[in-house]
Amino acid sequence: MNGGAGDNRDRTRIRIASFDLDGTLADTGAEIAEAANRALHALDLCERDTAAIVRHVGHGGRELMRRLLIDAGEATSSADLDAAHASFDAAYAEIAGTRSVPFPGCVEALGRIADAGIAIACTTNKNEAFARSVLAACGIAERFALVVGGDTLPFSKPDGRVLGHVVSTLGGAVASTVHIGDSRTDVEAARAAGVAAWAVSWGYNGGEPIESAHPDREFASFEALAAAILRARRGRS
């Protein structure tokens, strides 16, 4: 799928590929739901099924718990949210990576992209320590030249400064950078930074089809995604 904004970028030589984590590189829904339910249980609230929790994934742990508290009809004062977030972080610290599974073709695609000399970043709203645990558990940590979590900087996606940080840290240029994700947040982050906004058709995105976010390009497999990146590495669309 091509969009007008992405056509020119597709002809640019890609030097940096930034990837979202949850729902893009790995299926982490089960372990996030387990941590969230542990936090809800600690607050004497009813647990939720995985689907109800996963639809809120993508904005970081604090926002996840805020939305779950709202779903439960609970107050969301700063103190309440602090307690819920702390409970979630404590639970997730124990299980991050234990139930994460890379999506089909992920490992092979990252290998092909890295071997082509493209710098790869993981740019996620998950806490950096948790992200590193997931990447290690999935056997792909060594592929990333940079990991930026939701707590790495004073701001998080969709703030354009996050991907701006990725570009400057890796010594690249906006015009030769692509960000790949599974959600509207990722598309908005890419657009805010001025980099190409590519998306995958699997993942979470609040239960909505990724087409609704109007990415520049959409891919149904890691094989197709890697092929497109390698073509762009050579300056071909």
Q: Is 20 a catalytic residue?
A: yes
C-alpha span between 139 and 107 (Å, rounded) = 8
Phi-psi region of 48 (alpha: psi -120 to 50; beta: other; left: phi over 0): beta
| φ, ψ (nearest 5 deg) of residue 233 | -60, -30
Give me Rg for the CA atoms of the chain: 17
User: In whole angstroms, how far apart are CA 216 and each of 15, 73, 127, 179, 201?
Assistant: 17, 38, 27, 10, 13
d(CA 213, CA 187): 7
Rounded Cα distance, 130 and 36, in Å: 14
Q: What is the Cα–Cα distance from 93 to 90, expressed in whole angstroms? A: 5
Of 7, 10, 20, 49, which one is the catalytic site residue?
20
Q: Which residues participate in catalysis according to the annotation?
A: 20
